[in-house]
Amino acid sequence: MDLFEYAEDLDFGDIHFKVNPKTGLRAIVALHNLTLGPAIGGCRFLEYDSSDHAVRDAMRLARGMTYKSAITRVPHGGGKSVVIRPKNMSDAQRVEIMEEFGEFVDSFGGAYITAEDSGTTVADMDIIATRTEHVLGTSTNVASSGDPSPVTARGVLHGIQAAVKYKYDRDDLAGLRVAVQGVGSVGYHLAKYLHELGAELIVTDINQDALKRCEREFHAAIVAPEAIYSAQADIFAPCALGASINDSSIAQLTCDIVAGSANNQLAEDRHGAELRARNILYAPDYVINAGGLIQVVADLAGEDADWARAKTEGIYDSLIEIFRRADSDGLPTGEVTDRIVEEMLGLK
């Protein structure tokens, strides 16, 4: 699809680019919708096969943030940034890139607020904060609680508990087998919470140290990345990059529930219908992974930990309502959630 057609298909707003060959900066800021307020969305710092892939990733993620903000009922729009990571980058070059990206963020005058995402760290946010005040998740800002990963994972846990309640009419996770795809920052914390509640874990990741940590701490079984889809599990928790639910993976799934932290889990919208046709309950990604957004909004608004905790726990009730409406309407859960948001924003 042509890039402009793709933008129109996503009901897009603005896409901005910043390039500096001297530092190696190649940055994209995608602002999807500002109806509810200034856009919040993390900054990805990854290598990409092509600039087209990077732009489309930023656009999909920005749209997801609009929907996540709306369904979570926080006063913000959706944005996302991608900084294409140079090959063979030095530590000094990384600092220069983050400084210049901070200036890029500042140029939006508060219309876009950045935060941590795949490939960026709290240390990167600290560097960005030397050039703009429109950044969250730093270690030095007293208004920030830092790494949002544990809160995101806690929200995913509440979402898994909702799915288990709806699917199995169970209030506990003891003995359930959960296949976790990706045990980085969010996936590790999710695995920890699941282990504490008695779930059995199957894990995969490209980082061998992360896998060994889960094996040592949680007695997790390790499988190769390509084997995680067919692993015998009750729940599949995608916690890596997007598009993990696709034609190939759906055919391999043995689970009853798909519920994880990754953004844009469905490669295409039709895959939500295919999950439903196979009687697999899907927890829409931008609902279940909203814990990190809730934390940064709490930081920004000066809300206390009790507010953030209650809001994150609300993911459980939101998903139960979505599951019920999906069954009542005979529609995929993702389509039902999209309709709720689009009605709120007047997009359709």
Which pair of structure tokens corresponds to residue 52? 């087209």
Could you tell me which of 78, 56, 6 has the C-alpha nearest to residue 345? 78
- The beta-carbon contacts of 160-163 under 8 Å, at least 24 apart in sequence, are 160/194, 160/235, 160/237, 160/257, 160/259, 160/283, 160/288, 161/316, 162/283, 162/315, 162/316, 162/317, 162/319, 162/320, 162/323, 163/235, 163/257, 163/259, 163/281, 163/283, 163/319, 163/323
- 22, 68, 80, 212: the active-site residue: 80
Coil/strand/helix, residue 29: strand
Q: What DSSP line would sit under 257-307, residue for residue?
A: EE--S-SS-BSSTHHHHHHHHTT-EE--HHHHTTHHHHHHHHHHHT--HHH
Amino acid at 206: I
In which order are the strands placed within the sheet that holds 200-204? Answer: 221-222, 200-204, 177-181, 235-238, 257-258, 281-282
Direct distance between the N- and C-terminal alpha carbons of the chain, in angstroms, rounded to an integer: 21
Tell me how crowded residue 206 is: count the other CB atoms within 10 A of its CB. Answer: 10
- CA-based nearest residue to 150, from 193, 208, 118, 207: 193
Contact status, residue 112 vs residue 76, Cβ threshold 8 Å? no
The Cα–Cα gap between 176 and 200 comes to 6
Rounded distance between C-alpha atoms, residue 253 and residue 269, angstroms: 18
The answer to whether 151 touches 294, Cβ cutoff 8 Å, is yes
Is residue 80 annotated as a catalytic residue, yes or no?
A: yes
- Which residues are the active-site residues? 80
